[in-house]
Structure formats: structure tokens, C-alpha cells
């Protein structure tokens, strides 16, 4: 296990301090992206259950004292919070560098000067496609023009801009144009993350899964564009797990450097942890972040390697401290066993089933792909 800070004497010995707090301020969102990693259980979410301003402010203060350096203000859509400016100030006062992760809707352009003055450091805007109609279709809402307008305003105000694009069958062939668009907007960083199949993305897997040819070509284009733009644009490219045979270290390892707070204040070690049965989800309304991070069973559950089964326990590649056995939520979803080796690993006894599933999905012809099930919190729309 890596260590990023001195340990607390007598408490949490061996556990690194967290670096990142992901504050999911609201699950409600004006967009309805079918690849959303939010849990499908958000259907029917009520905004009245969201944490109040005072709670977030207190928790940001606790995070700052824990040594957290980065604050991601996200959702759903964080702009739906009327108190976002206050929360930016609370993040700044706690000594954290804050990033707003947003669709730019409903009103980022108008709010940007106020958010910047309140302490916001960095803006990350999602784009679904370089073509307006396609972007709006994938996001399930008219949004493209507002996104570009907001992105330009971010740069005009001298703030660092990141563009993020979740890639899938309907936009992987557009990667070159997406990179040119991000560069023309003045983004410093572009995150091209192939869809990871969590939450709503799982429901839409047959519609979203790209072909291997698309992924291979996309990677070639990324490499060519990296050479073209050099250091002026930092391009991150994340391969989809389903085409790999060794897993990624999900979240950098369970509870190794990040805390996710859902809109109601439940503290989670990863974005899908709320779906894991038998895992207690402690709320910051009842427990301090310090106690949750160091002492809770949930955050300690998959730290270290004692919990691992074979082949991870005796990994012939000695990757236990590199990938930590892969993603716990994926292992649970695909094998029914939360402690199993992630089936992405070619050493997993379940890897063959994953490959068979991939082949089955790849055999679906374009014209037979199912329609998107758009992400929503509204039972009427779902
Ligand atoms: Fe990683 Fe486990 Fe596979 Fe080894 S056996 S490479 S630790 S997932
Ligand atoms: Fe939960 Fe990977 S999403 S461990």
C-alpha cells in the first residue's frame, strides 16, 4: 500500500491520508447520459434529502484537517445547488483546490464570475460529441451550444479548463474531431475515458460497447494528436476494462486516497459502493470523516491483501499491490462474490465468461442495437 502522509499515532496506523474528496452535491441532472456511472437506484431521488449547506461546509472543514488537497464538486449536476458559491468558499477556506465537474447546464456561463470570486479553481465540462445534434442526442438534452459558450468563458476568465468525454460506440470514431474541438476551446486537459460499465452504463452495455476496431483506431488517433498538440493539450486516454486482460487499480485501490460523499452524506470508498449489500454506509451527519476514513469497517474492508482469494492472494504476476485484484464492484456484479478476482484478469476463473459476454455483445449488429435507456432521477421518465 502506498503512503501519502505521516500516519496518526496510535490510530489508523498504516493507512494513508485521503487526498481527494468527491462531493456529489445532487443526483438530479439536466442531462440524461446513458453511460452515467451513477447507480440506477437514484430513480425517485428527492432533493429534500440532500445535505444542507452547513453540513457540506462542516465536512469540507473536516476534509481539510484530514489533509485532503483536492475537492471535486460534482453530481448529477452541481449547478443545481443554489449554494454552490458558498460551497466553493468553504472548499477554499478548508485549503482545498476545487474542481467543478459539470454539464455546464443550466447556467454555468452566467455564474462563472461569481463562482471564481467565491474560490472555484478549475472547471471540467463534459461534451458528448463534436457534432451538435449527436452531442444533444447522446446527452438526452439540448446542451451543446451552452457547453461551448461556457467553456470559452472559463478560458476568458483565466481559469484552467478540462474537457471530458465518455467514449462509446457512438462517439469513438469522432475522437480526432473531439480533440481538435478541445484544443480550439483552449482546454489544458482532455479526458477521453472509455465507458466503464457501472450504474446506468451497465443497463446500456449492448448499445454502448464499441468494437475492438474502434478502440484500436481511437488509440492511434490519440497518439497522432498527442504528437500534433504536444504539451499544449494534455490528453488522457482510458481503455475500457472489457478489452483488457489485466484489471486497473479501481480508485487506485480501495479507500487508498479518495472519499466519495453522495448527496445525502453517505461516505463511500467508490462510486458504486452503495450497491454492495452488507456494506455499512456511514453518514457524515452522524460520524466524523476522520472516524469513517480510519476506523469504519466499510473503508477498511478491502484495504491491504488479507481479504483476497486466489489467484490474487498468490498472484504469479505479483500485482496485488499494483491492481489490488481489480474492481470490487465489478467482481461482485460479474461473479456474485465481492472478494473474487476481477474477471477482467486473465487469471480469474471467470475470465472466460467475461470474454464470452464481450463476444456476444460485439456480435450485436449496429441496426439491432437497443435504444438508449436514458439516465434519470424521475420515475415518470424512467
Ligand atoms: Fe491482479 Fe489478482 Fe490478476 Fe494478480 S491475479 S493480476 S492481483 S487481479
Ligand atoms: Fe467499486 Fe470499483 S467501482 S471498487
Q: Say what the pLDDT of residue 366 is.
A: 82
Query: Mean per-residue pLDDT for 279-288?
Result: 94
247 Cβ closer than 6 Å to some ligand 1 atom: yes
Report pLDDT digits (tens) over 20-70.
Answer: 999 999 998 889 989 888 878 766 678 899 999 999 999 999 999 999 999
Q: Which three cell numbers stand for residue 46?
A: 428527492
Q: Say what the pLDDT of residue 13 is.
A: 57
For residues 21 and 201, what is the distance between their CA atoms, to the nearest angstrom?
23
Report pLDDT digits (tens) over 217-269.
Answer: 999 999 999 999 999 999 999 887 888 899 999 999 999 999 999 999 999 99
323 Cβ closer than 6 Å to some ligand 1 atom: yes
For residues 350 and 330, what is the distance between their CA atoms, to the nearest angstrom?
12
pTM of the model: 0.91
For residues 200 and 172, what is the distance between their CA atoms, to the nearest angstrom?
19
Q: Say what the pLDDT of residue 333 is.
A: 85
For residues 156 and 194, what is the distance between their CA atoms, to the nearest angstrom?
29
Q: Say what the pLDDT of residue 201 is.
A: 86
- Dihedral of the CA atoms 351, 357, 363, 368 (nearest 10)? -160
201 Cβ closer than 6 Å to some ligand 2 atom: no
Q: Say what the pLDDT of residue 306 is.
A: 94
Please report where in the chains the cell 481503455 appears, as a residue. 239
Q: Say what the pLDDT of residue 380 is.
A: 57
Ligand 1 centroid – CA 306 distance (Å): 14
Three-state helix/strand/coil letters over the chain: CCCCCCCCCCCCCCCCCCCEEEEEEECCCCCCCCCCCCCHHHCCCCHHHCCCHHHHHHHHHHHHHHCCCEEEEEECCHHHCCCHHHHHHHHHHCCCEEEEEECCCCCHHHHHHHHHHHCCCEEEEECCCCCHHHHHHHHCCCCHHHHHHHHHHHHHCCCCEEEEEEECCCCHHHHHHHHHHHHHHCCCEEEEEECCCCCHHHHCHHHHCCCHHHHHHHHHHHHHHHHHHHHHCEEEEECCHHHCCCCCCHHHCCCCCEEEECCCCEEECCCCHHHCCCCCCCECCCCCHHHHHHHCHHHHCCCCCCCCCCCCCCCCCCCCCCCCCCCHHHHHHHHCCCCCCCCCCCCCCCHHHHHHHHHHHHCCCHHHCCCCCCCCCCCCCC
Q: For residue 122, name the pLDDT band (cuts at 50, 70, 90).
A: very high
Q: For residue 127, name the pLDDT band (cuts at 50, 70, 90).
A: very high
Q: Say what the pLDDT of residue 45 is.
A: 74
Rounded to the nearest integer, the mean pLDDT of the chain is 91
Question: For residue 275, which ligand has an atom nearest its CA?
Answer: 2
Q: Say what the pLDDT of residue 379 is.
A: 60
Q: Say what the pLDDT of residue 381 is.
A: 53
Ligand 1 centroid – CA 351 distance (Å): 12
For residues 299 and 46, what is the distance between their CA atoms, to the nearest angstrom?
27
Q: For residue 375, name the pLDDT band (cuts at 50, 70, 90).
A: confident
Q: For residue 12, name the pLDDT band (cuts at 50, 70, 90).
A: low
Q: Which atom of ligand 1 is found nearest the CA of 346? A: 3
Which structural domains are found in the chain, ordered by start? Answer: 16-243 (3.20.20.70)
Ligand 2, atom 2: closest residue by C-alpha: 327
Q: Say what the pLDDT of residue 11 is.
A: 46
Ligand 1, atom 5: closest residue by C-alpha: 312
Q: Say what the pLDDT of residue 163 is.
A: 98
Query: Mean per-residue pLDDT for 103-110?
Result: 97
| Torsion-angle region of 176 (φ positive above 0: left; ψ -120 to 50: alpha; else: beta) | alpha
Ligand 1 centroid – CA 345 distance (Å): 6
Q: What percent of the chain has pLDDT over 70?
A: 95
Q: Say what the pLDDT of residue 357 is.
A: 84
173 has pLDDT over 50: yes
Of 18, 24, 4, 105, nearest in space to 272 by CA: 24
382 has pLDDT over 80: no
Q: Say what the pLDDT of residue 10 is.
A: 38
Ligand 1 centroid – CA 258 distance (Å): 22
Amino acid at each position: 500500500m502506498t503512503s501519502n502522509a505521516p500516519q496518526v499515532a496510535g490510530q489508523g496506523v498504516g493507512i494513508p491520508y485521503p487526498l481527494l474528496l468527491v462531493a456529489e452535491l445532487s443526483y438530479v441532472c439536466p442531462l440524461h447520459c446513458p453511460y452515467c456511472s451513477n447507480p440506477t437506484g437514484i430513480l425517485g431521488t428527492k432533493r429534500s434529502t440532500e445535505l444542507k449547506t452547513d453540513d457540506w461546509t462542516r465536512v469540507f472543514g473536516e476534509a481539510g484537517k484530514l489533509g485532503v488537497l483536492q475537492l471535486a464538486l460534482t453530481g448529477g449536476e452541481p449547478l443545481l445547488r443554489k449554494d454552490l458559491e458558498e460551497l466553493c468558499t468553504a472548499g477554499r477556506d478548508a485549503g482545498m483546490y476545487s474542481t467543478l465537474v459539470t454539464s455546464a447546464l443550466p447556467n454555468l456561463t452566467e455564474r462563472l464570475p461569481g463562482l471564481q470570486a467565491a474560490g472555484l479553481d478549475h472547471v471540467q465540462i463534459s461534451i458528448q460529441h463534436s457534432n451538435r445534434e449527436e452531442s444533444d442526442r447522446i446527452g438526452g438534452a439540448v446542451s451543446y451550444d451552452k457547453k461551448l459558450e461556457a467553456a470559452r468563458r472559463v478560458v476568458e476568465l483565466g481559469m484552467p479548463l478540462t474537457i471530458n468525454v465518455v467514449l462509446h460506440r457512438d462517439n469513438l470514431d469522432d475522437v480526432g474531431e473531439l480533440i481538435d474541438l478541445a484544443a480550439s476551446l483552449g482546454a489544458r486537459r482532455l479526458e477521453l475515458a472509455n465507458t466503464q460499465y457501472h450504474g446506468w452504463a451497465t443497463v446500456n452495455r449492448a448499445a454502448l460497447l464499441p468494437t475492438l476496431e474502434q478502440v484500436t483506431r481511437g488509440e492511434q488517433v490519440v497518439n497522432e494528436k498527442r504528437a500534433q498538440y504536444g504539451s499544449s493539450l494534455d490528453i488522457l486516454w482510458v481503455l475500457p476494462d472489457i478489452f483488457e486482460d489485466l484489471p486497473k487499480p479501481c480508485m487506485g485501490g480501495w479507500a487508498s486516497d479518495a472519499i466519495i460523499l453522495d448527496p445525502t452524506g453517505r461516505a463511500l470508498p467508490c462510486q458504486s459502493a452503495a450497491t454492495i449489500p452488507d456494506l455499512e454506509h456511514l453518514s457524515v451527519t452522524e460520524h466524523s470523516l476522520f472516524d469513517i476514513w480510519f476506523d469504519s469497517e466499510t473503508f477498511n474492508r478491502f484495504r491491504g491483501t488479507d481479504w483476497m482469494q486466489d489467484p490474487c492472494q498468490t498472484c504469479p504476476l505479483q500485482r496485488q499491490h499494483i491492481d489490488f485484484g481489480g474492481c470490487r464492484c465489478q467482481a461482485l456484479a460479474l461473479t456474485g462474490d465481492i472478494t473474487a478476482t476481477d474477471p477482467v484478469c486473465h487469471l480469474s476463473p471467470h475470465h472466460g465468461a467475461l470474454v464470452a459476454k464481450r463476444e456476444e455483445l460485439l456480435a450485436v449488429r449496429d441496426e439491432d442495437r437497443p435504444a438508449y435507456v436514458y439516465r434519470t432521477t424521475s420515475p415518470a421518465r424512467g
